[in-house]
Amino acid sequence: MNFNFILPQKIIFGENSTKRIGEEVKRLGARRILIATSRGMLQRGSLKGVTDSLQEHKLSFEVFSKVDPEPPIEDVYDCIAFAKKTESDLLIGLGGGSVMDIAKKVAVDLVLPKIMIPTTAGTGSEVTHESVLKVDGKKKAFVDEKIIPDIAIVDPNLMKTMPPRLVASSGIDALAHAIECYDSKKSNLLVKTLAFEAYKIIKDNLREAVENDKKAIENMALGSLMAGISFGNSGTALAHALSYPLSNEGIPHGEAVAMVLPYALEFNEFDARVINEIKEIIRNLKLGREIKGDIEGMAKTVMEDKKHLSNNPRKVTFENVMSIYKKVVEGVKK
């Protein structure tokens, strides 16, 4: 058995762990910090917690808040220009997966250290060496060991203000990470062990987290982290390939994954009991949106996604993808 296992040099987990950001920045030798985040984060306490810690350690900072949902590569270019203008020497990504994907790509392009702080329990981007961005309107994954963050700080307190629909969709995304990487061709015993435990944690806590149970949200943060470590070292498969064209049509990533996950697992002949559990969770959470795109065109896009399809435990044909999308369309109508 041979495999590589890629991780940040440090992972800090726990309530109020954001208070440690200042000392970690100083440990990395930085003095001028750029915080990449979303526009909405400007009004939230999460950003103030980060800036308070930086100020406590007498560190200067600037904020770039022009990261879009499902971000285009142009957001990277804009952030790079801002980082150069402010002579920043370290990147902090504060937000969901979109923000962290931008921050990681900017940091690696500028050869700067990077710290990721997730505010949602789902993407696992804080511990992966991948950045997913839209290029010419289509999602593209940039994969490079240099993209791995130096430090990941996971503070469940930052996730306790998520709206229920975001808790649900990001939680299903984390669930998909755990399941898909467990069965992927690149999986190994270490990945499978983490993924299995992540799946159990997420499954047992997702409903309660949607209902704003604080302990369940903390557990979801841990499950998402473990699933992120797992899929970062084995990759996802068919469900994520199927989700990308839906996101290209404007459906948020987590909901797109939720819409296709049960059907992808059925195709892969996954445990029927698990599939039924997932269907029940998705149904109870009322996830799913109308598909407006041409499914034949979307199926062609999926077949071009060799990264995910080559990792799938079963060979996938164009006819298979068309059949799955037809089931997804019917499922949404019900």
What is the rounded distance in angstroms from the CA atom of residue 12 to the CA atom of residue 24?
A: 10
How many residues make up the chain in this entry?
A: 334
Summarize pLDDT for 202-247 with one digit per residue, the tens. Answer: 999 998 999 999 999 999 999 999 999 999 999 999 999 999 999 9
The crossing angle, in degrees rounded to 10, of helices 295-303 and 238-248 is 130
CA 225 to chain centre: 10
pLDDT at 271: 87
Q: Percent of the chain beyond pLDDT 90?
A: 80
| pLDDT interval class at 176 (50, 70, 90) | very high
- Pairing type for strands 10-13 and 151-154 reads parallel
- pLDDT score of 333: 66
Provide mean pLDDT across the span 191-212. 94
Task: For domain 10-159, give the fold.
Answer: Rossmann fold (3.40.50)
The answer, yes or no, to whether residue 22 has pLDDT greater than 80, is: yes
User: Distance between CA atoms of 69 and 246, rounded to whole angstroms?
Assistant: 14
Looking only at the bridges linking them, the beta strands covering 130-135 and 138-143 are: antiparallel
How far apart are alpha carbons 24 and 246 in whole angstroms?
A: 38
Helix (H) or strand (E) holding 140: strand 138-143
Query: Does the structure show a pLDDT above 80 at 1?
Result: no
Segment 286-299 mean pLDDT: 88
Q: What is the 3-state secondary structure (H, E, C) of 209-247?
A: HHCCCHHHHHHHHHHHHHHHHHHHCCCCCHHHHHHHHHH
Confidence of residue 145 (pLDDT cuts 50, 70, 90): very high
d(CA 124, CA 171): 11
Range(s) of the chain covered by CATH 1.20.1090.10: 164-333
Q: pLDDT tier at 201 (50, 70, 90 boundaries)? A: very high
Distances (CA, A) of 2 to 90, 261, 310: 34, 29, 19
- Give CATH 3.40.50.1970 domain extents, the chain: 10-159
Instruction: Convert the pLDDT of each residue in 53-76 to its tens digit.
Output: 999 999 999 999 999 988 999 999
What average pLDDT does the segment 94-107 reach? 97
Domain 164-333 has CATH 1.20.1090.10: yes
Band (pLDDT 50/70/90 cuts) for residue 334 is low
